[in-house]
Chains A and B, each alone.
Chain A
Amino acid sequence: MKSRHDPDYNYAYLDEATKRMIRRALLKAIAVPGYQVPFASREMPLARGWGTGGIQITAAIIGPEDTLKVIDQGADDTTNAISIRRFFARVTGVAETEDTRAASIIQTRHRIPEEPLQEGQILVYQVPLPEPLRKLVPSEQETRKMHAWAEYGPIYVRLYEDIAHSGHVTSTYSHPVIVNDRFLTCPTPIPKFDNPKMDMSPALQLFGAGREKRIYAIPPYTKVKSLDFEDHPFEVQRWDQPCALCGSDTSYLDEVIINDAGERMFVCSDSHYCESRRAQGHTGPQLEKAKAIHLAGAQT
């Protein structure tokens, strides 16, 4: 089907020279997995820090045959996800989907879908702070040297200090990884729950940091190792109850406060995954109650 975009704008908003510049940065990023490639990030009609890096990457790679899914915090129906999806619908006219399997490009803020990704799919991350060493060293000049020399001792010291102080590695999201046994890389603010999904993923993973002007990538089937110690192995978050709506006991759960008394419910953050499980007949312990308060059921 031919896509129709707003004729007042160039296809995918950015001009062709800019898209070519971004594609070149992407090729370099893919060739050197985990390395942060500087790029001339453009102003977009969305605030810096609201996902302009991911949007620029999507704009640079999207074509009329693509099917786009946009998620924010795992959900297709949050305002930011809808706003970005609408933007691309207007400037590209491509097909939109909420179905993880049907999407050729998935732009994400904060989650990797629960549904395993496939070969040929591209996951585009919106990255706020691409530099995993930033909290240790405020200077870009210094951190780039540390990457060049693979001088990653200080980050292990930081993790060690966490364990010494609190008995745990206290990172909960953006837990640093080593990509392809070489570059210390920030996995964006995805919860560390999702880190294992990055390892040997059949999908291409692209990361765009618009405000910080960096692009990096993890090609398909690339080793991604979350930092840890032999006696303190990497662990992900766990919940002691399943999703209230679909009963999944393997997905990342969001906590939802459901009334003034502070009563809460835990539900899948991946809205499409949760909905498709319910469509398959899975039910969680509080599905009826959730329907009663419009938390599940009728689509808007």
Chain B
Amino acid sequence: MYLAVKGGEAAIDATHKLLSETRRGNVDVPELDCVQLREQMSLLIARVMNEGALYDPDLAALALKQAQGDVIEAAFLLRAYRTTLSRFGSSLPLDTAKMHIRRRVSATFKDLPGGQVLGSTYDYTHRLFDFSLTASGDRAEATVAPAPLSETMPRVLDILGAEDLIESETPEDGDPAPEDITRDPISFPAERAARLQSLTRGDEGFLLGLAYSVQRGYGHNHPFAGEIRVGDAAVCFAPEELGFEIELGDITLTECQMINQFTGSKNAPPQFTRGYGLVFGHNERKAMSMAVVDRALKTDKFGETPAYPAQQQEFVLYHSDAVEAAGFLEHLKLPHYVDFQGELELVRRMRAEQGGEPE
């Protein structure tokens, strides 16, 4: 039996109550604690912080709990909260060479200054279920290294750069402050700083798909992972009224530099070119995808003709934001009586004018 819909107010109240019950699930099961999420779902927390564009593991944990684990919904909560924060300034550029390294690998050099540091990774695990985790699995104790890692760890691409074998990335004259896409809308062609910001906030799955397309033939670029590093970097800020810099704290970052072959063009000699990825938390897949797509987007710098989706700025930057994309897709759930009525009226009139019956 169909009842015409009326009374949105009561419906909203009722659905909020139902949602609350659904979120909690079976009350005989202990409730999730945000701290547990933060500590034991740290890769997910990193993803939410990146797509939510806010570094705050505690809020990311709350967002995940509130969103029943829906990543995009959780990122959306962070973004909406981020909007309400006033900005008191920009940090100084982070020095990732001085990161406290937890993991650092290069696929281009077997060994290198500072060494390969595997750190904590699933790369070499066998993807078999560890059923002991269904009970309260015992955790293994980490082995303590005989000697601490070096305080500074040179970046692999700087080593190539010293030989002039790779595209240089020197700051422009006067080192202008980068565009901020949260304060100025992107205009096209977009400058690289704006592109990188968009990619960091972009949906991991979407960027992964684009990066895969570049590798697989839709962008003919099969790069090398020059370096992937994960660690903690200090965020420094220099308040105008103090005149000197102060350290605000450490954040965990994943950085990736991809090396691409390049045989030269009218404006550039043959050399390697680079793609760059930098994201919050431990999130290698995202940083790598970002680095591949970043290189693909450098078409104008190297006189390449953009021919594939990943090389087209507007395509990549306008469609990579999952929070925006989800909102527009999901608005289809809102009523469209008015538009649909217009269509219905037109179709009926056109059919009537055709004589009603098809031949």
A-side interface residues toward B, CB under 8 Å? 9-10, 13-15, 17-18, 38-50, 52, 72-74, 77-83, 109-111, 128, 138-141, 166-168, 170, 172-173, 189-193, 211, 213, 237-239, 252-260, 269, 293-295, 300
Residue in chain A with minimal CB distance to B4: A295
A166–B350 contact, CB under 8 A? yes
Q: B300 on the interface (CB 8 Å rule)?
A: no
A40–B184 contact, CB under 8 A? yes
B328–A211 contact, CB under 8 A? yes
A50–B331 contact, CB under 8 A? yes
A78–B4 contact, CB under 8 A? no
Interface contact tally, CB-CB below 8 A: 155
Contact of B76 among A38, A47, A111, A139 (CB under 8 A): A47
Shortest distance between the CB of B14 and any CB in chain A (Å): 11
A254–B6 contact, CB under 8 A? no
User: For B7, B11, B186, B353, which residue has the most chain A Cβ atoms within 10 angstroms?
Assistant: B7
Known: A15-B86, A44-B80, A300-B6. A72 touches B331 (CB 8 A): no
Q: B339 on the interface (CB 8 Å rule)?
A: yes
B330–A49 contact, CB under 8 A? yes
Is chain B's binding surface mostly helix, strand, loop or mixed?
Answer: helix
Contact of A43 among B83, B188, B341 (CB under 8 A): B83
Known: A48-B324, A50-B331, A293-B3. A255 touches B337 (CB 8 A): yes
Complex interface bits, B66-105 against A, C-beta within 8 A gives 1, otherwise 0: 0000000000100110111010000000000000000000
Q: List 24 A-B contacts (CB under 8 A).
A: A42-B83, A43-B76, A43-B80, A43-B323, A45-B83, A47-B326, A49-B329, A49-B330, A50-B334, A73-B337, A77-B9, A82-B12, A83-B12, A138-B314, A139-B188, A140-B188, A237-B342, A252-B338, A254-B338, A255-B337, A257-B2, A269-B338, A293-B4, A300-B10
The 8 A-B residue pairs with the shortest CB-CB distance, nearest first, are: A47-B327, A172-B342, A49-B328, A48-B327, A300-B7, A45-B80, A43-B79, A49-B327
Contacts of A15 on B, CB cut-off 8 Å? 84, 86
A294–B345 contact, CB under 8 A? no
A44–B188 contact, CB under 8 A? no
A43–B82 contact, CB under 8 A? yes
Shortest distance between the CB of B60 and any CB in chain A (Å): 15
Provide the bound-state CA to CA distance between A147 and B1, in Å: 52
B346–A170 contact, CB under 8 A? yes
Shortest distance between the CB of A158 and any CB in chain B (Å): 16
Contact of A79 among B4, B11, B314, B343 (CB under 8 A): B11
B338–A110 contact, CB under 8 A? yes
Known: A39-B185, A213-B185, A300-B9. A256 touches B4 (CB 8 A): yes
Q: B187 on the interface (CB 8 Å rule)?
A: yes
Contacts of A257 on B, CB cut-off 8 Å? 2, 4
Provide the bound-state CA to CA distance between A15 and B1, in Å: 48
Contact of B339 among A41, A78, A173, A256 (CB under 8 A): A173
Contacts of B83 on A, CB cut-off 8 Å? 13-14, 18, 42-45
Q: B193 on the interface (CB 8 Å rule)?
A: no
B182–A78 contact, CB under 8 A? no
Known: A43-B79, A72-B335, A78-B335. A193 touches B342 (CB 8 A): yes
Contacts of B127 on A, CB cut-off 8 Å? none
Known: A44-B80, A189-B339, A211-B324. A72 touches B334 (CB 8 A): yes
Shortest distance between the CB of B176 and any CB in chain A (Å): 18
B185–A295 contact, CB under 8 A? no
Contacts of A173 on B, CB cut-off 8 Å? 338-339, 342
Contacts of B184 on A, CB cut-off 8 Å? 40
Known: A40-B182, A77-B7, A294-B4. A191 touches B341 (CB 8 A): yes
Contacts of A42 on B, CB cut-off 8 Å? 83, 182
Contacts of A109 on B, CB cut-off 8 Å? 334
Provide the bound-state CA to CA distance between A139 and B313, in Å: 10
Shortest distance between the CB of A156 and any CB in chain B (Å): 20
A237–B339 contact, CB under 8 A? no
Contact of A78 among B8, B323, B353 (CB under 8 A): B8
B328–A40 contact, CB under 8 A? no
Q: B17 on the interface (CB 8 Å rule)?
A: no
B341–A255 contact, CB under 8 A? yes
Contacts of B9 on A, CB cut-off 8 Å? 77, 82, 300
A-B contacts besides A47-B330, A211-B327, 18 pairs, CB < 8 Å: A15-B86, A40-B183, A42-B83, A45-B80, A48-B323, A48-B328, A49-B329, A78-B335, A82-B8, A82-B9, A138-B314, A170-B346, A173-B339, A189-B339, A237-B341, A237-B345, A254-B341, A300-B10
Residue in chain B with minimal CB distance to A139: B314
Shortest distance between the CB of B12 and any CB in chain A (Å): 6
Residue in chain B with minimal CB distance to A260: B2
